[in-house]
A = this chain, B = another copy of it.
Amino acid sequence: MSSASKALELLSLFSKAKPEIGLSEMCRLANRDKATTYRHLQVLEKAGFVEQIVTSKNYRLGPALLQLGRMREATVPRTAGAESAIATLAEKTGETVHVTVLSGLTLFALMSRESLRHSTRAVIDITTFPLHATASGICAVTFGPDELFAEACDNFKAFTDLTPMTAEALETLIVTARTSGIGRSIGRFEKEINSLSAPIFDQTGQFAGAVSVASVASRFTPELEDTIKTELITASREITKSWGGVIPSAIEKAWSGAMSSHQELDTSS
């Protein structure tokens, strides 16, 4: 592993819960030597990626990230085009919404929104979404580039006892997603959290990301699932449009098929 990646890894140790970290603690978190970690932090500080708080000697994320983030959004406007869609999605479903973007072989969290309707809600605070264990990840593997399947298989990790751990198990989920146009994760990333996800496409016609809704299992009724699916599709269409893409006809077809079949189930139940 390159020294540069090791340095960059340190940045991902910061979180809402841990916005500032001291040297020793960072060594423990990163499981690395103190001297090495210190040098890495020096490099990051010189580049403005972290800054040291004068009083506490702790480190926190630096100002250069703001500029770079702004420049990223200026060159590839993603959040701007998704904001209104996820607002209405959270509003209509009453659940937590996530938008992810695919970059290379990694599915990154782009933004999220929690509905205020319920006091208990799904909170998923991660920076990259595991491909095999999340609804968004299943979407990526299903509708994204083929290499993602191998990538997913190389990174099987059991988050719950429902997490798929074999290529065959994953394949099953993919088939379901392909026929319905919707990714599903039923307690596969976190116990008691069920998620549904729809793919988003960009101007190159490629899979660009996913929008997903995470709900707590106790209120995940078939009716709610149906509502979420409908709203997800609307949101996906809207975000795809604002990202300059079009929904492939195969997926539009899968959506209409899945919805009608599901509505049959619904009326029969």
Say how many copies of this protein the assembly contains.
2
Chain B residues with CB under 8 A of A6: 4
A106 proximal to B (CB < 8 A): yes
Whether B55 contacts A204 by the Cβ 8 Å rule is yes
CB distance from A205 to the nearest CB of B (A): 10
Q: Of A6, A49, A71, A101, which is in contact with the most chain B CB atoms at under 10 Å from its CB?
A: A71
Query: B-facing mask of A28-45, CB < 8 A → 1, else 0?
Result: 000000000001100111
Number of chain A interface residues as a range = 35 or more
Q: Which of B7, B9, B69, B75 contacts A19 (CB 8 A)?
A: B75
Q: Tell me the complex Cα distance, A79–B11, Å.
A: 21
Q: Residue on B with the closest CB to A67?
A: B127
Kindly specify which of A57-65, A161-169, A215-223, A235-243 makes contact with the partner chain: A57-65
Extra 4 A-B pairs, beta carbons < 8 Å, given A4-B44, A65-B71: A8-B49, A53-B204, A65-B68, A67-B127
Can you offer 5 A-B residue contacts whose CB atoms are under 8 A? A4-B8, A19-B75, A20-B75, A45-B103, A55-B204
Chain A residues packing against B (C-beta within 8 Å): 2-9, 11, 14-16, 19-20, 39-40, 43-49, 51-55, 60-76, 78-79, 101, 103-104, 106, 108-110, 127-128, 204, 206
